[in-house]
Amino acid sequence: MTAFIARSLIEKLVTLFFVTVVSFLIVHLAPGEPAQVDPLNPKFTPEMVERFRQAFHLDRPLPVQYALFYRDLFTGRSVSWKDHRPVLEKIAERFRNSLPLFVVGTLLTWTLAFPVGIRAAVGRGGAFDRGTAFLAYLLISIPGFFFAYLLILAVVSAFSVPVLGMETFGFEGAPLLNRANDRIWHLLLPSVLGAGSGIAVLSRYVRSQMLEVAHQDFIRTARAKGLPEETVLYKHALRNALLPFITMFGLTLPGLVGGSVIIESIFSWPGLGRMAYEAILARDYPVILTLNFIAAVLVLLGTLLSDLLYAAADPRIRLA
């Protein structure tokens, strides 16, 4: 097991290095340069532009810029070009805002998708199966931004409640219970929207896996023994259908950074996704590259977690 973990770690570190190189090159090969436009000072002189380039190493060769950027990042000296604040400090603030969306959305996805998928598999071809299939394909096919605007119009028209931002303006000094209720209303809609497509995809995958397992010999044997249908479904069929979901669960981690850009932008939620969108518009390279690095680390941590869970569930993988 130790050799398996060491081999996986080495593979992940090598992959992370190449990801950082490719993302660094893509960002720097994009048209334009941050020194050309300063949103805080539109009257930049050529001398100021040159000082800007020197201060942020833009006058150095790309390999040197790469080394200096990650040196500053790992030593905590990387600053945003937009407001000159430490990048890690800005990300920590936005991370606290994105975490509730990620946690609630993930819980909704994984707690609702399995019952829906299992029920659809049990009643294959029935009204519930056809209805959930229609809703799933609808949620998958409708663009997220369009669906978000429809939900905002529907909720505001029906309940007359605020849906933009993390809290209603002026509620800072309100009683704790009122502030908590206000936060829940603001959190509910983007969380449901974020979980919608995940529930649609995962429930259909659960259905297909359950149907595949349901035709195995051990399921027919369990039914022949007279076991209750709930025991056959949840103790035998579901347990054997869970292995493919280990990978999917591990890959939910990157959603903390990349899965919330559209939702946070539409709902004016001050999280990591919205910060990434703003950094791209401002050509704030340190913030963009740091978020890319964090997303890559989360992806590799998710795959490493999947590898470990697979190895624990199936010892044959450790020997491969």
pLDDT in tens, 205-257: 888 888 888 777 777 787 787 777 777 777 777 777 777 777 677 667 666 66
CA distance 87 to 84: 8
Residue 103: pLDDT over 50? yes
Q: Which residue has the higher pLDDT, 13 or 58?
A: 13
Of residues 315 and 224, the one with the higher pLDDT is 224
Specify the pLDDT at position 290: 92
Averaged pLDDT, 249-278: 76
Amino acid at 154: A
* Residue 104 confidence class, pLDDT cut points 50, 70, 90: confident
Q: What are the DSSP calls for 17-79, one per residue?
A: HHHHHHHHHHHHHSSS-GGG--TT-TT--HHHHHHHHHHTTTTS-HHHHHHHHHHHHHTT--B
Decide: 284 and 34 in contact? Cβ < 8 Å.
yes
At 18, is the pLDDT very low, low, confident or very high (cuts 50, 70, 90)? Answer: very high
Supply the pLDDT for residue 168.
73
Give 102-106's long-range contacts (Cβ < 8 A, gap of 24+).
102/255, 102/256, 102/259, 102/260, 104/187, 104/191, 104/195, 105/191, 105/194, 105/195, 105/198, 105/255, 106/195, 106/198, 106/252, 106/255
* 19 touches 307 (CB < 8 A): no
- Cβ atoms of 198 and 191 within 8 Å: the answer is no
Whether 3 shows a pLDDT value over 60: the answer reads: yes
* Other residues' Cβ atoms within 10 Å of the Cβ of residue 257: 27
pLDDT for 39 equals 45
* All structural domains of the chain with their residue ranges: 98-264
Q: Residue 235 has what DSSP assignment?
A: I
User: Which residues are paired to 68 by β-bridges?
Assistant: none
